[in-house]
Structure 1
Amino acid sequence: MHVILVGSPAFDSLEYHLSDALQVLGHTTLIVDPAAEVFLPAKLTYWAARFNETYDRLVAERIATRIVANRPDLVLVIYRTMHPVLVDQLKRQLPGVTIAQINPDALTNLEKQQIIASDYDCYFSKEPYVVSALRDKAGLPAYYLPEGFNPRIHRKPTISKADAERTTNMDVLVYGGLYAYRARMVEQLIRAGINVVVFGMEGPYLNAAVKSAFRGRYLVGEEKNQLLYGARIVFNNLHYAEVTSANQKYFEINGIGAFQLCDHKPTLDDYSGIPTERVTFGTITDAIDKIRYYLSRPDERYELAEQQYQHFQKYHTIDQRVSQLLRITGLQSSSSTAYETVGR
């Protein structure tokens, strides 16, 4: 089967991992990058598309033309801001080909709700709240699909956790976009006297304390594996608009074998291989208390991290998610049980 993905081909992106998993499962793939189909630089394109529908439609039509020329059996659209004409044109020119949307973003990132206005054959979301709204109220064919990790990219280093921690020598590591909400929580940790190191993309309005903890680069590949695994605690504070779901990092951290402390969300009970109350927090005070507790108990950290690592290897790979997606779309036989389970 030939699958086209609409999104970013960047290494470690969701599109990259979906493509990789599809190839492992025996399919061919092509990532069509909307940024390569536009006439203006990326930032200008974003604003032009927001305020000029003619330009927005033209970009979508160009992308549709390229997709049609490659004759796919399945189209997966990951970008959430595509004009609905994209799906309309694909359905006219590719009758019978499934067009699906995968939204990995938090609820606040739906822009102008283009994905809701588009007539996709399937909508996949990691957020049960969004699935319910789309399916039960908007009448759309929406399905729950959690995120996962890529076992070929997100790999545990070969040294022991204790040796990795001695080499890295970081008490608490935070990574990702340093937007204001995350920065405020980092600030609270620093004020509590916790040694925090931050990697990722710098956001606006950072105070001096948070800037001093910021290392100024985005973690990918082997460096990410080594630093997450080597940090004593990886602090994963989820976006405030993650209503009940987890982010991609939640799966990556556990898949690498790192020790993770994150916000409690209802879906984590379905994902976790250990009682979630042991490795989640409800308030920043609770987070600080648990950080102090686990920093003084390395053996307990190692044991919990290893239990999560084994559990996530068994149940939460991107290969399993892709296999589930293909079953839902009817493109893979339901008799295949290799990747049946999403939760425990």
Structure 2
Amino acid sequence: MSKDFILPVPPLPLTPAEQAKLEGRLNGFKNGYSEGYLRGRLAILDGRPEEPLPVRDIHVMYVGSGKGYPYSPLDEAVLTSLQSLTAEVTATDVHQNLVELAGAKRPHLVLVLDGMELPLEQIDQIRGMGIRTAIWLTDDPYYTDFTLGIVNHYDYVFTLEQNCVEYYRQLGCTEVHYLPFAAYRPHYRPTISRTPIARDVSFIGSAYWNRVNFFREIMPQLMEFNTVINGIWWDRLPDAQLYGDRIEIGKWMSPQETAVAYSGSKIVINLHRSHVDDAFNNNTLAISAASPNPRTFEIAASGTLQLSDVRDDLPSFYKPGEEIVTFSTPQEMMDKIRYYLANEEERQAIALKGLERTLRDHTYPKRVNQLLTIIFG
């Protein structure tokens, strides 16, 4: 026998503990690579320059809601978009003397956000000066008992709910336009570095009764995963105390905190509030809701997979199964959570396509440009 020939030594069998350790290391490498790949792709998309939009030689007086949080981030989004798209913006809010300010500044347009606390006689006087007025309603169809009495005082009405358009037109409003909100990129964008939050599933929002009733059916299943729920009133949920700090009760999260939680979650649930809710709504006509809520765009802008309940007009904004995933029942939602947590590549592909679509079509400068185009051509 040649001295260079060495019989192979069979590897020693691993103990169960060693096998588990090896599998853990391999899974760690795999998950780390997958996470790094996702963050890299998110960084590429997030770093693309936005499409340039025209800057109009006009002066807009922007009237903020005056309501504070959570409306103040909307005010910021609209105001900064106006400032980037017009020659001059005068910023004020509903608590100021708008007639005096408009008379001194003579803007081409007075744009009001929400307008629920604005004395309508001020808008009437501004229109009497020959200045165009517009309102962008923030909460349709949930407070239509109030908005139905407001809209006739403006030249242009913009609503984020498609089903409200015809109701306002029936009141005699000739310029009613469907204009949903969008994603404000300084607030909602993906976390590019290693995220400080790591969750399987997140839901962030107030515990309206339709949400409580929806979740109570599947809480034990949902909490089998690393799931966290944030928002006010979640003590309404039976057995909420059993889940400890995985249900954060009574916490308002800033947009930046919310975006970090979204981006650090593999799946984010978007469950819309109901248009029928005697405890919180003022919608006597029971106008139904067909349009996606603002969270739809904010979740997608954060670079995560969004599971949303079905809304009739949702496909106008995202392709179900490609850019967003939808569900109709609690059990269907759970089935899809299990599927996408087990199929990482599909989950990431939909998240990336959702982000790409948002950056292309659903940012506030795009929406504000659309509003200005309707008014000024």
With structure 2 as the length reference, what TM-score do the two structures score?
0.71
Name the CA shift for 1:222/1:117 in 2 (closer, same or farther; >3 Å): closer
Q: How does 1:68-147 map to 2 (within 5 A)?
A: 68-81=103-116, 82-92=118-128, 94-95=129-130, 97-113=131-147, 115-116=149-150, 118-135=152-169, 137-140=170-173, 141-147=175-181
Show the counterpart of 1:198.
229
Letter in 1 for 2:127: K
Match of 1:56 in 2: none
Rate the CA distance shift 1:188–1:83 in 2: closer, same or farther, 3 A: farther
Compute the displacement of 1:24 (Å): 1.8
Q: Which amino acid aligns with 2:267?
A: I
Aligned amino acid, residue 172 of structure 1: V
Which residue, 77, 82, 88 being the options, matches 1:17? 77
For 1:32, the aligned partner's letter is T
Distance 1:323-1:151 versus aligned 2 partners, 3 A rule: same
Q: Is 1:2 the equivalent of 2:60?
A: yes
Aligned residues: 298
State the SS of the aligned residue for 1:191.
helix
Contact 1:80–1:110 (CA<8 Å) still a contact in 2? no
Displacement, 1:291?
1.4
Answer yes or no: is the 8 Å Cα contact 2:267–2:305 preserved in 1.
yes
Pair 221,79 (structure 1): closer, same or farther in 2 beyond 3 Å: closer
Could you say what secondary structure the match of 1:285 adopts?
A: helix
Answer with 1 or 2: which has the greater Rg.
2
Are positions 1:296 and 2:342 aligned together?
Answer: yes
User: Counterpart of 1:76 in structure 2: which amino acid?
Assistant: L
CA deviation string 1:31-82 (max 9, x = no partner)? 4333x55xxxxxxxxxxxxxxxxxxxxxxxx454455454432212222423
* 2:359 matches 1:313: yes
How do residues 25-36 of structure 1 correspond to structure 2 at under 5 angstroms? 25-34=85-94, 36=95
The DSSP-based 3-state class of the residue aligned with 1:100 is strand
SS at match of 2:146: coil
Contact persistence 1:5–1:19 (CA under 8 A): no
Q: CA deviation at 1:310?
A: 0.8
Alpha-carbon offset, residue 300 of structure 1: 1.4
Give how far 1:23 is off: 1.2
Q: What residue in structure 2 maps to residue 257 of structure 1?
A: 303
5+ long unaligned stretches in structure 2: 1-58, 276-287
1:220-259 counterparts in 2 under 5 A? 220-241=254-275, 243-259=289-305
Contact 1:7 1:31 survives alignment (8 Å): no
Assess, with a 3 A threshold, how the Cα gap between structure 1 residues 190 and 154 changes in structure 2: closer, same or farther: same
**Residues 197, 25 of structure 1: alpha-carbon distance in 2 compared, 3 angstrom cutoff:** same
Give the AA of the match of 1:318. Answer: Y
Residue of structure 1 in register with 2:373 after alignment: 327
Offset, 1:295:
1.8
Aligned mates of 1:204, 1:111 — CA distance in 2: 29
List alignment gaps of at least 5 residues for structure 1.
Answer: 38-61, 334-344
Residues 84 and 118, structure 1, Cα contact 8 Å, conserved in 2: no
Secondary structure of 2:274's counterpart equals coil
Shift of 1:260: 0.6
Shift of the 218–30 alpha-carbon distance from structure 1 to 2, 3 Å rule, reads farther
CA–CA distance in 2 between the matches of 1:207 and 1:86? 47
The Cα shift of 1:244 comes to 0.7
Q: Distance in 2 between matches of 1:264 and 1:112?
A: 27
Q: Quick check: 2:324–2:351 contact (8 Å CA) kept in 1? A: no
User: In structure 1, how many angstroms separate the alpha carbons of the residues matched to 2:256 and 2:304?
Assistant: 13
